[in-house]
Amino acid sequence: MLTRKQHELLIFIDKHLRETGFSPSFEEMKEALTLKSKSGIHRLITALEERGFLKRRAHRARALEVIRLPESMAPRRAAAAPAPAAPKEAPFAPNVIRGNFASNMQGVAKPANEAAAVHLPLYGRIAAGLPIEAMRDTGSSVEVPAALLGMGDHYALEVAGESMIEAGILDGDTVIIKRGDVAENGAIVVALVDDNEVTLKRLRRRGNSIALEAANPAFETRIFGPDRVRVQGRLIGLLRKY
């Protein structure tokens, strides 16, 4: 039998996984349960693991899997799986396509209504740490399921660094970018700094300044004047190989 806090945390993690596709951060869990420290979250997660409700995936940041819910919640969980909604302009939640894309997804069944895969240009590596000089390699491409893309022009970049791990973006991931020069406040964007450096960060507008915000407390937020930063595109999804 679960305690009230164990039950609240399990339901919060399950809801976050179904809505975003990745685990909540310890800070998000602490705030959701109104706890004063993250150590309480660690104890609750350990207790849920011991009772067979949660499982941690080894060697992965923020990788939790809900094994089962309390019996009284199981029917509600099954009923709470609506059909995917149309894309909205909202803060990024990674849409992770897993597998070996070099093999053209052989052996993976595709829905009958899914269009053929699209080859997007792969423009080198982008820093998810300190900005790096842009590396544009138009000779490379990456295969992406057409269902992942909407209208507009898109391209791909390989992530280097760990400053966005709490947004579910890991070193070595390939991010899918919708090309554009505008983005809503809070969106994860490709930003061009001083016309020669590119970085992947969350965009925050602060008065007349622009902040490029990391999703890792080990990295500082960098603030620039509006004439120093240009948006090159908005993050819509990512690919991950194993």
Tens of pLDDT along 220-240?
999 999 899 999 899 988 888
- Of 164, 160, 162, whose CA–CA distance to 124 is shortest? 160
pLDDT for residue 146: 80
Q: What is the pLDDT of residues 165-209, one digit of tens each?
A: 999 999 888 898 898 988 999 999 999 888 878 889 999 998 889
Among 23, 25, 163, 178, which one carries the catalytic annotation?
Answer: 163
38 catalytic residue (yes or no): no
* CB-based burial, 64-78: b 16+ in 10 Å, e otherwise: bebeebeeeeeeebe
Domains of the chain: 4-79 (1.10.10.10), 96-240 (2.10.109.10)
Phi, psi for residue 172 in degrees, rounded to 5: 95, -15
Cα 160 → chain centroid: 15
pLDDT for residue 62: 59
Count of residues making up the chain: 242
pLDDT for residue 73: 60
pLDDT for residue 20: 80
pLDDT for residue 228: 92
User: What residue ranges of the chain have pLDDT lower than 50?
Assistant: 75-81, 83, 86-87, 89, 97-115, 132-134
5 catalytic residue (yes or no): no
Spatial separation of the C-alpha atoms in residues 185 and 167, rounded to whole Å: 16
Among 23, 25, 178, 201, which one carries the catalytic annotation?
Answer: 201
Spatial separation of the C-alpha atoms in residues 53 and 73, rounded to whole Å: 12
Spatial separation of the C-alpha atoms in residues 108 and 164, rounded to whole Å: 29
Spatial separation of the C-alpha atoms in residues 74 and 2, rounded to whole Å: 15
